[in-house]
Amino acid sequence: MKKTASVASALLGASLSTGVEGQDAQGVSLDPVLPVVQAPETPEQIDARLAWWREAKFGLFIHWGVYAVPAGKYGDNPYYGEWIMHSAKIPVSEYRRFAEGFNPTKYDPSQWIDIASDAGMRYVVITAKHHEGFALYPSDVTDWDIADATPYKRDLLGPLVEASRARGLHIGFYYSHAQDWIHRGGAKAGFNDQDGWDDEHKGSFDEYLSKIAVPQVRELLTRYPIDVLWWDTPSLMNRARAQPFDALLGLRPGIITNNRLGGGFSGDAGSPEQFVPTTGYPGDWETCMTMNNHWGYNAVDTSWKRSPELIRKLADICSKGGNFLLNVGPTAEGEFPAASVEILREIGAWLRVNGDSIYGTRAGPFNAPLSWGCATRKGKRLYLHVFQWPADGQLRVPLLNETATARLLVDRSKPLPVVQRDGVLVIEVPREAPDAVSTVVELDLESDPVVRPLLTTGASVIASEEDVDAIASFAIDGTSAKRWRAPKSTQAAWLELTLSKPSRVNGIAFDEPDVWPRLNQQYDVDVLSEGEWKRVASGKTDGHGVRKWFEPLLTNRLRISLECKAGAPGVAELLVLEPE
């Protein structure tokens, strides 16, 4: 151990045990070193602080730590990458020995940043400390860090920050503030305070926060000029425990945070993990996602997503107003897996042609999924990302605008004919798609886009059962922030919608509650048409929502039946789709 926690941090620990934010029982401030609470920001100040992040759209997530040494393998089982210590319940003393093999002599931060920049990424977020408690920088409050526990003995974060700045990228740190499986008292998912699978890491959570987590966050904020602080898994956190972390943010004016601190602190951005919300999120948000099945390096995981899938996800996320944080898990030697480098190279090639349709855009005007793709927006200009090229050469855009001009983004010199036909703008496009992955059509409108109202507008909804705090109407309230859930003891339930008038319907889309474990619901969709109920869709979700198309039917009543064994059935937001 290099140095014990400061007196200020020790006093801070006393304040945590009182349950009163930053005060003792008599209301006296216990930590004069903490920054003075700043006045609330105005909307204009928030916009200015978030401007670069909203423009950037695409970032690189890096999960790197001692877990790269076992690389997913322990005994005869390939455990989940960065969660291997927890998954295999490895004792502290045994896990610490993995650090002897963490010697990233092939680490080249400039090369990493070049790869990210060439991929079209505008910012980087790296795990300064993940749940295993290991710090990638020399920390004064522990010997479980790169300087003391490994043969490498040099800071990994500082050179990456310098390389990012040199290439013009913003950079941030992920920090696991609550979960820590090595240090005494750190939270362990599934365990109560003071508990764990090894006596060596059992202890007081409040003492862990005051002696390890809070001092380390202070170190990161004062040593490195970072732009983002990315919290994760707020196990055991309440407002009193979270407030000191929030107060420390004043040490780095302009910093951006996510919504995982806990204690009621919402941060700046939502953080859906491993999925693209069907209806998007309100406000600022960022989907984080792996390229294969693991965040940390796993030597046997070759289930790589292909670049076309990730390019379409990027466009889809941006069409809903979000950012995309795509992950790489480097090896213990300090290299990006070759497959991930190739994927990033291919994404970068697409962005060099189509970047105008991504960077600096905001959510497109369409409030329901489009059968052919999605759309991003800059003012009166829309970028139509066409994944499914129209076989008849006519791209139907559900806009009520009378006039517009269109061209392919890859070749702006040739205008495409556009006509208004029955409440739809029809663009004549080439018979063959110029880009099979995502061809972008640039559409300039003379006025703000005018879209058809959602079919759920004015609809009524009932449920077989509903929780008192998650009623049926929340499923069609226009936001996934509220959701319908059946009571906790229920495994099967249904929602039934009655539309305001009979309409042609050809699909449904719904978001599921963003909860752990994922719901994985069996669903059936029935439509009342011509006097009888017809089954139009069935399947099983992955907990990330569903988008399902079927042959158009005239109806004003639909029912979705759900069965869930992992928790009460639920829907965050339900959309009824109509043909373009």
Is residue 34 very low, low, confident or very high in pLDDT (cuts 50, 70, 90)? Answer: low
- Average per-residue pLDDT for the chain: 92
Check: CB of residue 560 under 8 Å from CB of residue 492. Answer: no
Q: What is the CA radius of gyration of the chain?
A: 25
Q: Give how far Cα 21 sits from Cα of 24, 25, 35, 238, Å.
A: 9, 10, 14, 10
Query: Which pLDDT does position 406 carry in this prediction?
Result: 98
Q: Give how far Cα 421 sits from Cα of 365, 369, 403, 495, Å.
A: 19, 20, 11, 35
Residue 219 backbone dihedrals phi, psi, to 5 degrees = -60, -45
Query: pLDDT by residue (tens digit) across 59-73?
Result: 999 999 999 999 999
Query: pLDDT by residue (tens digit) across 167-176?
Result: 999 999 999 9
Check: CB of residue 359 under 8 Å from CB of residue 93. Answer: no
Q: What pairs with residue 574 in β-bridges? A: 510
Q: Give how far Cα 96 sits from Cα of 130, 154, 182, 237, 257, Å.
A: 14, 18, 8, 26, 30
Residue 16 predicted with pLDDT over 50: no
Query: pLDDT by residue (tens digit) across 419-433?
Result: 999 999 999 999 999
Pairing of strands 286-289, 58-62: unpaired
Is residue 408 very low, low, confident or very high in pLDDT (cuts 50, 70, 90)? Answer: very high
Residue 21 predicted with pLDDT over 60: no
Residue 567 predicted with pLDDT over 50: yes
Residue 373 backbone dihedrals phi, psi, to 5 degrees = 160, -130
Is residue 80 very low, low, confident or very high in pLDDT (cuts 50, 70, 90)? Answer: confident
Average of pLDDT values for 188-194?
97
DSSP secondary-structure letter at 271? -
Burial class of residue 485 in the structure, from the number of CB atoms within 10 Å of its CB (0-12 exposed, 13-18 middle, 19+ buried): buried
Q: Report which of 53, 173, 55, 170 is spatially closest to residue 123, judged by C-alpha positions.
A: 170
The whole-angstrom separation of Cα 198 and Cα 202 is 7
Q: How far is CA 551 from the centre of its chain?
A: 33
Tokens representing 66? Answer: 């001692």
Tokens representing 30? Answer: 């216990």
Residues with Cβ within 8 Å of residue 296, at least 6 apart in sequence: 63, 64, 65, 67, 68, 72, 81, 82, 83, 84, 130, 329
Task: Please give the single-letter amino acid code of residue 26.
Answer: Q
Is residue 19 very low, low, confident or very high in pLDDT (cuts 50, 70, 90)? Answer: very low
Half-sphere exposure of 552 (CA within 13 A, CB side): 9
Sign for the CA dihedral angle at 64, 66, 69, 71 comes to: negative
Tokens representing 185? Answer: 């008292």
Task: Please give the single-letter amino acid code of residue 408.
Answer: L
Burial class of residue 392 in the structure, from the number of CB atoms within 10 Å of its CB (0-12 exposed, 13-18 middle, 19+ buried): exposed
Q: Is 163 helix (H, G, I), strand (E, B) or coil?
A: helix
Query: pLDDT by residue (tens digit) across 206-217?
Result: 999 999 999 999
Q: Report which of 310, 313, 315 is spatially closest to residue 340, judged by C-alpha positions.
A: 310
Task: Please report the beta strands in 243-360, taking only residues with DSSP state E, as ranges in sequence order.
Answer: 256-257, 286-289, 323-328
Q: What is the torsion angle, in degrees rounded to the nearest 10, for the CA atoms of residue 377, residue 380, residue 383 and residue 389? A: 130
Domains of the chain plus CATH, in order, are 57-357 (3.20.20.80), 364-445 (2.60.40.1180), 460-577 (2.60.120.260)
Residues with Cβ within 8 Å of residue 190, at least 6 apart in sequence: none
Q: What is the chain's length?
A: 580
